[in-house]
Amino acid sequence: MGIISSRFSLAVHILALLTIEDKAEATTSEYLARSANTNPVVIRRILAMLGKAGLLTAQAGVSGGVHLARSPQQITLRDVYEAVEKGEIFTFGSREPNPYCICGRSLEPVMKSVFQQAEAALEQTLAQMTLAQVAQEVEQIDALTCRSA
């Protein structure tokens, strides 16, 4: 896992939209970029990562675009996260601690354990939520928001 960036939320946005719209024709990066209010180049980078992870299939050509490679019930948020993020979430940085300070000498092992537990909890939480559940909650919130507007 890596430091959580906007790639994760953007990847979830893309996959949730594909789930909700469930179109027979492929969805283009331009369409997805308009939905996420970002540049199509950014979307294409994310699509490449999702494709490499086996979450999307791409169709080239004039009628090209992307589809989900698996059912939304089979894709967890952990799958999405692992597709677009790399490395540890928490890091100490590259500076060398002061060996003459008690915390400089001994804090890192303590915090490494805490960080490992926190990352394991995050991974477990993400593994319990599927793309289908995310899409369902988005639709429910949207229905409530549209009624009250």
Confidence of residue 117 (pLDDT cuts 50, 70, 90): very high
* Residue 41 · residue 35 · CB < 8 Å: no
Mean of the per-residue pLDDT values of the chain:
90
Assigned domain for 75 exists: yes
Confidence of residue 4 (pLDDT cuts 50, 70, 90): low
Q: Is the pLDDT of residue 92 over 80?
A: no
What range does the domain containing 47 cover?
Answer: 6-148
In this prediction, what percent of the chain has a pLDDT beyond 70?
A: 94
Mean pLDDT, to the nearest integer, of 112-132? Answer: 94
Residue 50's alpha-carbon distances to 53, 95, 148, in angstroms, are 5, 34, 35
Assigned domain for 1 exists: no
Assigned domain for 117 exists: yes
The alpha helices in 22-101, defined as continuous H runs, are 29-36, 40-52, 77-84
What is the total count of domains within the chain?
Answer: 1
* Residue 131 · residue 75 · CB < 8 Å: yes
Q: Indicate which CATH number applies to the domain containing 126.
A: 1.10.10.10
Q: What is the per-residue pLDDT across 36-58, written as a single tens digit (0 to 9) for each?
A: 999 999 999 999 999 999 999 98
Q: Is the pTM of this model over 0.95?
A: no
Q: Given this model, what pLDDT does residue 148 score?
A: 64
Assigned domain for 108 exists: yes
Assigned domain for 130 exists: yes
